[in-house]
Structure 1
Amino acid sequence: MNLILKLLAGMLVGALLGLFAPADVVRGLLTFKALFGQFLNFVIPLIILFYIMSGIASLERNSGRLLGLTVGLAYLSTILAGGFAFAVAHEVLPGLIAEGIHAAARHEQALEPFFTVDIKPLFDVMTALGLAFIGGIGISATGATSLRRVADEGRNIVEWVLASALIPLLPFYIAGVFAGMAADGTVFDTLKTFGVVLLLAVLLHWVWLAVLYTVAGTATGRNPLRLLRTMLPAYLTALGTMSSAATIPVTLRQARAMPVRDEIGDFVIPLCATIHLCGSTITLVSCATAVMMMTAGLDVASWSTMLPFILMLGVAMVAAPGVPGGGVMAALGLLASMLGFGDASLALMIALYVAQDSFGTACNVTGDGAIAVAVDAAVPAAVAVGDEA
């Protein structure tokens, strides 16, 4: 919540400076935005490489039917949630937002930064994904402990960069973005659109949770409303923590109360906290669709473009950083490489995502309970954690 307040303050201060401050002040903010954007582009491939490699490698600790079923259900829920969000956003948003309101330059005298510095990434996003897959699967298959340590320690370093530099500086970055929009005359239409998109994302979260628990309850002969009501404390806890990991104790307690066998809950809930990201995917897909509609020069993606993006998104956010906004940080590379987002569009995505991060996390956490119910019903009591089916 503290980060959300800082981002809102950054949006407000940036808009006011863009409207009323001298041009040199606005150009100073734009200079910081440009420098921060270059640093962000440099870090994005490292986020993808180390988080995905470490996340995939960590799956080797358990094997057999229980792991395969949990991962399969979590991934299926994530990609179906993304497809559902795109279908709804594609149909609903054109009638609710002003298309093309955000452009790189609205007039010939658009303000520019004082200077920029070009920081080249070590490798591009797709190279990072390829290395992450090969490294993670290879570590899992061969038990390469040294490389596993490199992946885990690299993840720790990237997480430290996120927690100590990128996340704290985000409000200033967002302030620069909104100062530029205010100077261009697009800030009020953008803020109006923000409210519409955030409301739609939260509504989609609730609908998807209803779908998950209806399916889980129907398949297991349990009352979906009773299951969902049992998980409500986990939902409310996640709203405050904005972290699936921090909510695990409450999620686990409520899963057992549904009830789910202890050995199933102890395995499924911590694992799903890192791989089941249905709420985050709904937010990213709906917000990305809105930003494409808002941004002049960006075409709204078709199913042929968005479906591969959703499939990759379900993997890219595996073991996303345990900090607020970690999901969007892990997705920035895909937004840029697969959907053509520029720096300004990525900044809008960060602002939109973090503003509702608590609701997305709450959806993720509550959805974990439905996965646990399904796995509990599908795996016989004789199949122990870590045994081959």
Structure 2
Amino acid sequence: MKSFGLLPRIIVAIIAGIIAGTFAPDAFIRILATFNGLFGNFLGFVIPLIIIGFIAPGIGSIGKGAGKLLGMTTLIAYCSTIIAGLVAFFTAKAIYPSILSNQAAKAFENPEKALLEPFFSVEMTPIMGVMSALLLAFALGLGMAAIKGDTLQKAMDEFRQIIEIIIEKIIIPLLPIHILGIFANMTQGGQVSAIMSVFAKVFIMIIILHILYLCVQYTAAGTIRKQSPLRMLKTMLPAYFTALGTQSSASTIPVTLEKTKQMGVKGRIADFSVPLLATIHLSGSTITLVSCSMAVMLLQGETYSFASMLPFILMLGVTMIAAPGVPGGAVMAALGLLKTMLGFDATMVSLMIALYLAQDSFGTACNVTGDGALTAIVDKLNKE
């Protein structure tokens, strides 16, 4: 199963869910619904831990040893991530009303009545609310960045490793079963045709946005460095396809580093910026998260506006700092924001995870390839 990537497993789970929802008896669907209820409750329990485990050590480690190069790289990465989110918002706002209007009207009139109930449920109360976890994570992260001691930083780094193991060994392997159950229940409820239509349209739009945004990044880098943007982008293609296969920015760092140096970036700058950007620059993931969240909101009949989405986009740039180098890390780190800032319920969270993971590898590839452009810009602007 390990050699069978997450994307193929997600695709198989969706197909199997549709087949099960069409032919399987209600009792089988209710078994899957029971699993989904338990898994969803566990996910709700883990979300505050994920927030603390990712954000606190991420902010703390970035703040330590702060210098001109670190500050400049972080600022450029954050600006790139925010611009990516804004591009996704305005594109979706312009396109979704026309391409998703029919699906939004018929997708979920009474979702609670259409879906089968689980046999039983087990309450798993989180140790704290999501907003409390966010505030605690920021307080700890900023505090660790301000003091000189390393004890708490080391403890938080080890805590993050524990959370990464939970995600990598428990949540990610069980997600295909969770998605299978979602689509089986939706199929028997007559909702799956609208969902699949949305999946296809949103997927295509996101991939196009990834490519266009990479062109913008390399046009900016090429203009500043007086190099051919197309030649720079061509040099970075091996990193893109490596990330497409591994679905991990961290695993792609050696290839990204090699190809960035081939573009003419100083070795000292590349050695520093590429590993840092692999954890703080998530422009492709942000495009995906914003596009998918707006699609889910439209499906569920929820409204969105620039005033509601801008704070979400601004927080995404911070919240996903040091998201783990495992498939689906970005969406896991963003679950808290989806629930608190956009009001996502359990069904919307499940749809969001399925939508995001279906193209996670493409978002990671966009992140990694963009790292090369940003490193080239940092190299040119750095005067040391």
User: Aligned equivalents of 2:123 and 2:109: distance in 1?
Assistant: 19
One-letter amino acid of the counterpart of residue 223, structure 1: S
Partner residue of 1:309? 312
Aligned pairs for 1:249-328 (under 5 A) are: 249-296=254-301, 298-299=302-303, 301-328=304-331
User: Aligned equivalents of 1:350 and 1:53: distance in 2?
Assistant: 23
Correspondence 1:204 to 2:209: yes
Which ranges of 4 or more aligned residues in structure 1 deviate by more than 2 Å? Answer: 60-63, 100-110
* Structure 2 residues not aligned, in runs of 5+: none
Correspondence 1:152 to 2:190: no
Q: Percent identity?
A: 51
Correspondence 1:37 to 2:40: yes
User: Aligned equivalents of 2:124 and 2:99: distance in 1?
Assistant: 38
Q: CA deviation at 1:124?
A: 1.4
Q: CA deviation at 1:62?
A: 3.3
Aligned pairs for 1:58-69 (under 5 A) are: 58-69=61-72
CA-atom RMSD in angstroms: 1.4
Residue of 168, 175, 199 corresponding to 2:180: 175
User: TM-score of the superposition, structure 1-length normalised?
Assistant: 0.94
Residue of 30, 39, 60 corresponding to 1:27: 30
User: TM-score of the superposition, structure 2-length normalised?
Assistant: 0.96
Residue of 147, 153, 158 corresponding to 1:142: 147
Conserved in 2, the CA contact under 8 Å of 1:49 and 1:131?
A: yes
One-letter amino acid of the counterpart of residue 291, structure 1: V
Q: CA deviation at 1:60?
A: 3.8
Correspondence 1:2 to 2:5: yes
Aligned pairs for 1:1-389 (under 5 A) are: 2-97=5-100, 98-103=103-108, 105-106=110-111, 108=113, 110-296=115-301, 298-299=302-303, 301-380=304-383, 383=384
Partner residue of 1:387? none
Conserved in 2, the CA contact under 8 Å of 1:35 and 1:116?
A: yes
Q: CA deviation at 1:8?
A: 1.4
User: Aligned equivalents of 2:240 and 2:72: distance in 1?
Assistant: 24
Conserved in 2, the CA contact under 8 Å of 1:242 and 1:357?
A: yes
Partner residue of 1:386? none
User: Aligned equivalents of 2:158 and 2:41: distance in 1?
Assistant: 24
Q: CA deviation at 1:101?
A: 3.9
* Structure 1 residues not aligned, in runs of 5+: 384-389
Conserved in 1, the CA contact under 8 Å of 2:115 and 2:186?
A: no
**Alpha carbons of structure 1 residues 240 and 5: separation in structure 2 relative to 1, 3 Å:** same
**Alpha carbons of structure 1 residues 144 and 101: separation in structure 2 relative to 1, 3 Å:** farther
User: Aligned equivalents of 2:107 and 2:291: distance in 1?
Assistant: 17
**Alpha carbons of structure 1 residues 108 and 200: separation in structure 2 relative to 1, 3 Å:** closer
Pairs aligned (count)? 379
